Amino acid sequence: MNVELQLNAALGSTRGASSQWSREAAQAVHDLPFNDLLFRAQTIHRENFDPNRVQLSRLLSIKTGGCPEDCGYCSQSSHHQSGLKASKLMEVQRVIAEARKARDAGATRYCMGAAWRSPKERDMDAVVAMVEGVKALGMETCMTLGMLDLGQALRLKQAGLDYYNHNIDTSERYYSEVISTRTFADRLDTLANVRDSGIKVCCGGIVGMGEEKADRIDMLVTLANLPEPPDSVPINMLIPIEGTPLGEAEPIEPIEFVRTIALARIMMPKSHVRLSAGRTAMSDEMQALCFFAGANSIFVGDTLLTAENPGEDKDSALFRRLGIKPMERDAQ
């Protein structure tokens, strides 16, 4: 499909299941005049979602710090001097108790993250019990545990895991500038195992790590061209953390960040686009533009794993001002 035809298909929300995004078509959409880009993104968003509903998820770190990976943005890496102490895996009942509080506060999806390269067999029984316990509360379940083989993915699926998060982080070109302990292909292998197990894929990336515009576009092209686009696409704005290699990274320009959100919405019309890490550095107006550009999912709570997040009172106040309501479970 040539660039003009693909661009017209994208802007008309008629992208066929068999078509593939080219870098040229994605960049043509990204580079539209800002008002045109947001108009197109909002039009496509309304065709697939209620424009005034946002999904609320809660994220809990079930095992913090001591990770053997060297991801340049992460405070939990054992390679960095961030001052974060490693912890043991949380007890199952404590995780379930925290999930119950999140449910009672309005969250419909509960995400559990462990700072591992991949889960060890000795930890799988506890992880499975967490999934079963949270599922029994009537919540959607999500986990991020590092790399998975197919057997682990199938076991989590049998336990009732709905989503697995495993971000590709950035473009294949820029990836080695950020991480050296696992490859871009390793990430794609885990996504394939998750997909083959029947678990829904949650996969996005981080912007503001010193990458170029082309890298942000290529990242979204990779995601949109997976055999099935991810059900959830978290777009994180880097939170520079002292003691990490990216601790002094220059922040991404706000309008460029909104463009990235809009492009994700246009390229993946039926995916939940999550406005993820970095919201503490965003003004209310910037967040409002992101919601208009097609973001329809956020994490609630005071922390995201180890980073700060806007408190629930602040989110509730912003939602009231914008006329936004939490997405109901059946609509997700």
Which DSSP category does 20 fall into? Answer: -
What is the rounded CA–CA span in Å between residue 51 and residue 317? 18
Domains within the chain, CATH numbers bracketed: 48-323 (3.20.20.70)
Residues sharing a CB contact under 8 Å with residue 151, sequence separation 6 or more, in sequence order: none
Q: Give the pLDDT score at 4.
A: 60
- Low-confidence residues in the chain, pLDDT < 70: 1-18, 65-66, 77-86, 301-312, 329-332
What is the rounded CA–CA span in Å between residue 291 and residue 19? 27
Q: Give the pLDDT score at 278.
A: 87
Mean pLDDT of the chain: 88
Structure tokens at 72: 């340049």
Q: Which residues are catalytic?
A: 67, 71, 74, 111, 142, 202, 274
Q: Give the pLDDT score at 14.
A: 40
Q: Give the pLDDT score at 81.
A: 61
What is the rounded CA–CA span in Å between residue 65 and residue 75? 8
**pLDDT, tens only, 105-135:** 888 889 999 888 889 999 999 999 999 999 9
Q: Give the pLDDT score at 66.
A: 65
End-to-end CA distance of the chain: 32
Helix 3-11 / helix 23-30 crossing angle, nearest 10 deg: 50
Q: Give the pLDDT score at 15.
A: 44
What is the rounded CA–CA span in Å between residue 111 and residue 255? 29
Which DSSP category does 56 fall into? Answer: E
Residues sharing a CB contact under 8 Å with residue 289, sequence separation 6 or more, in sequence order: 38, 258
Q: What is residue 298's three-state secondary structure?
A: strand
